[in-house]
A and B are shown apart, each in its own frame.
Chain A
């Protein structure tokens, strides 16, 4: 299943609580404070994993809460810090704060990381509150609360060239013939239901990414919904212009109303069509 927009909730971990505790040992009266500190809460981190290509693993899986730090213990024992929660996303994912409707960041490069929510620091135990005048402090801190965000993830596929045409026109065949991609090809319309990507390698320096898109049919049917959906999908921030390879039999006029809303890259494609096909 191809999913390119999801809403998730993330929360970083709370810090562990510090402890109020006095040292106890045989023959050692008034041992002093020895309450340990709490551990750090886990961060929520997004990481780009190049092998992923959809957001479908977020389907019905929308809460991501990092663990809290462990509480401090007696004899100055600090609590264990929680591990960071790493959320894996495909390259080309934009992360938005859903409440403020603001972009938090674009994740494009493989291995790129973005810390979205910082974990809370651990509270200090009463060992830290001892002073010369207060040698038995009944004071400690609880852990700092974590941060919570409602996020919207949007996946933008990064393609230089898009294949547009009627169903069953041979778009997937071209992709299969020119790239290492192996899309499903069959002799019936709408074989392709989700976009496939492939790299066309011409020589060592020349390559581009080509995308195969489900077939388009007349506007105002459900085909128009396809058009607008994939328009959004392919306006990648990393590629400044997308060229569209249009098949000759594409009902250009019928799809025009919805295509007029396409951005300027569409206009270049008209030239491609005129010049080469």
Chain B
């Protein structure tokens, strides 16, 4: 089919032809990449690692709690300790053999262990 873009000759016919061809195209079965939803990791879970600097505690809930605690307010610190006990961090640290004066590192915060 001869066409000309300048004189618009046959262009409309061509476009109709393209349109009908487009309609006849088989539906392409493409693997559409879907968002992956994963089971949420238990936010209360935590890990304790013994390093030279001290005991490094990592876990979503405990790190968030540390970030949200005013360590210069006695009431807030008590609240944080209560949460640590509730999550089982305290028990786990004792099981890991923590001594008085050892430091506990939670994300950016370094705390000293006192019995």
Contact = CB atoms under 8 A, between A and B. Distances in A.
Contacts of A102: 35-36
B63 to A, nearest CB: 9
Nearest to B3: A174
B7 to A, nearest CB: 9
Q: Which of B34, B67, B74, B76 has the most CB of A within 10 A?
A: B76
Contacts of A144: 64, 67-68
B14 interface: yes
B68 A264 contact: no
Contacts of A265: 25, 28
Given A160-B22, A276-B17, A142 B69 contact: yes
Contact of A240 (B30, B70, B74): B30
A211 B99 CA distance: 70
Contacts, number: 111
A15 to B, nearest CB: 8
A276 B14 contact: yes
A143 B15 CA distance: 59
Contact of B68 (A123, A134, A178): A123
Contact of B5 (A126, A143, A174): A174
Contacts of B85: none
Contacts of A264: 28
Contacts of B16: 202, 206
B8 interface: yes
Contact of B22 (A94, A103, A134, A161): A161
B73 interface: yes
26 contacts: A20-B75, A102-B35, A103-B33, A126-B75, A138-B75, A139-B76, A139-B78, A140-B76, A141-B68, A141-B76, A142-B69, A160-B22, A173-B6, A174-B3, A177-B5, A177-B11, A200-B15, A200-B18, A208-B18, A241-B22, A243-B21, A263-B28, A264-B28, A265-B28, A268-B26, A276-B21
